[in-house]
A and B are shown apart, each in its own frame.
Chain A
Amino acid sequence: MGQGKLTWRRFVRVMDKYGVMVLRWVLAAVGVLLATAPYLYMILQSLAPWREVNRRLLPTSLTTRSYEWLLQGSATAVARPWLRGFGNSILVTSLSTLCMLLVALLSGYALARLRFRGREGIYKFILFQMFYPAIILLVPQFLIVRFLGLYNTYAGMIIPRAVNIWAIFMYVSFFKSIEPAMLEAARIDGASEMQVLFRIVLPLSRSITAVIGLFLFMERWVELMWDLIVVQEYPMMTLNVMIATMSGPYASYPGPLYAASVILTVPIIIIFLIFSRHFTQGFKFILK
């Protein structure tokens, strides 16, 4: 053996040992680059001088002009309430997500762990709701929102999205897997069901709550059609809707739109990375 000549057999053996490893790392690097490329593009273009936006991949210099313009407007184009749009997005998404989680927690616990007449019926109805095509409900839901006077309000964006059937379903199946003895012990100690739920069950379901919450938040954050329908005026729009309606009149200013997109994207990525600790574990349960 030793330092022999590079024969074909030797080459194959070395490739088998290291080649696969190198290939794996190269593929992973290329894959991650492709997965993040549009984000990188967005960030670079938002910082590029205007004459280079969409013309060069890597700008020759960096400037914050797009961000400043977004907030101040110019002599010819009025600044839109972008910051307020961002605030609207935060408000609507977090309230909506909190409601969805809370309702799912309460009803999921009741349906999985409490005995009461009608429980089976409600659970079957939930399954029906989960598979009923939501699109048929779109127009009448809008009519109801308008009838209730919620058109062009925050409540119109939050309340119709305050309950999520999938989240209830997930909690029911998770709570069914919790050891009953633990809950029984707490009840014997005189804890109310509310205390059992928040002191014992909730800490046990940290991972799954993180993942369900993450999915609900993500989906609500980028919701387009409903928010587009329910809200008419700029000060009420979520950032996502504002960008969507702006790409018409602002189309000649792609730089600021990229800046707005960065502002829209950064929070969701930060939240995702914060909760990603729970991600792999909780996600496996969701897939079952």
Chain B
Amino acid sequence: MLRRIKGEALTGWLFVIPYLAYTIVFFVLPFVWGLLLIFSEWNLISPVREFVGLGNLIEALQSRRVHAAAVTPFKIMAIFLPAVLIMSLGIAVLINSFKKRQGLLAVAFFLPYLASGVSMSLVVKGVVSYTSPVNKVISNIIGYVPDWLGTPSLAILVIALMIAWRFSGYYALIFLSGLQSIPSELYEAAQIDGAGRIKSFFKITLPQLYPALYSVMILAVGLMFGVFTEPYMLTGGGPNLATHTWYLEIYYQAFSTLRAGYASSIALYNAVAVFIVVGIVRRIMQAWGRAHGWED
């Protein structure tokens, strides 16, 4: 017996060795190095690494580019959140209303999640281009062709809707499994009380979906701070930094201007921003959940 327990411990360690090796090289080491980089100025090439103390962190706070990158998540969110919530809730309710073929529909609505941001950006670039069939229809109605990617608000709209399209089916599946765990007695009781479809959606479905809504909100808000591919492909952060994002700025500082330390400082601010905003969203959601009888 003792031998077996010893053998088990040995096997256990053997099984986690690949994970441990990876973690030391690609997590612990970069973790320490990343913290050191924040306080140094280094161009990734020269042997000289200058200690600058809080210099990078202070510079980032004053940078117009970082300010723009810090604001963009909220601008995208203002469109993305309502759009993706309506779309994914709609899809979930729709799939749930079918008695058969739910799996097939779920698979179909999940397809956007497979899309490469790169190729979708090409499609969007084509669709909003000056001569596109879509713009032809629009210019017939409003009399001119809008400059989709050259106008700040429209560029944000395009990027927000692209991300919403991609994630709607994914979030819908989270909502769907939430919908299916709502006991049907609740609806029967509401029906007896004379509540219609719409009323029972807001009085029963939505509050009962709290766990699903909670996860979707946190995922969706967190997502806003890591946007990269769409603005990289479509606008390069423009016009005039209107679609500039955290990841674009970090990428640009680290690999174009080669300022490793400065880029790491911005990454730190990005992490802090995510932490604070997701924390606030978590609080709000929990308060809403408590108001509807859920415990934390």
Residues of A at the B interface (CB closer than 8 Å) are: 24, 27-28, 31-32, 34-36, 38-39, 41-42, 45, 53-57, 102-103, 106-107, 109-111, 114-119, 122, 125, 129, 132-133, 135-144, 159-160, 162-163, 168, 192-194, 218, 221-222, 224-225, 229, 240, 243-244, 247, 254, 257-258, 260-261, 264-265, 268-269, 272-273, 276, 279-280, 283-284, 287
Q: Which B residues from 141 to 197 make CB contacts under 8 A with A?
A: 165, 168-169, 173-174, 177
B107 touches A276 (CB 8 A): yes
Q: How far is the CA of A284 from the CA of B250 in the complex (A)?
A: 35
Number of A-B contacts (CB under 8 A): 239
A115 touches B9 (CB 8 A): yes
Q: A103-B22, A279-B103 are in contact. Are A247 and B122 (CB under 8 A)?
A: yes
B9 touches A116 (CB 8 A): yes
**Residue B108 CB within 8 A of the other chain:** yes
> Contacts of A24 on B, CB cut-off 8 Å?
94, 97-98
B131 touches A54 (CB 8 A): yes
Q: A138-B254, A193-B8, A247-B233 are in contact. Are A143 and B122 (CB under 8 A)?
A: no
A54 touches B111 (CB 8 A): no
Query: A161 to chain B: closest CB distance in Å?
Result: 9
- The count of residues in chain B whose C-beta lies closer than 8 Å to any C-beta of chain A is 85
**Residue B47 CB within 8 A of the other chain:** no
**Residue B202 CB within 8 A of the other chain:** no
Query: Which secondary structure dominates where chain B touches chain A?
Result: helix
Query: B23 to chain A: closest CB distance in Å?
Result: 7
Query: B290 to chain A: closest CB distance in Å?
Result: 22
B23 touches A35 (CB 8 A): no
Which residue on chain B has the smallest CB distance to residue A131?
A: B275
**Residue B83 CB within 8 A of the other chain:** no
Residues of B at the A interface (CB closer than 8 Å) are: 5, 8-13, 15-16, 18-20, 22-23, 25-27, 29-31, 33-34, 37, 44, 90-91, 94, 97-98, 102-103, 105-127, 129, 131-133, 165, 168-169, 173-174, 177, 215, 226, 228-229, 232-233, 246-247, 250-251, 254-255, 260, 263-264, 267-268, 270-271, 274-275
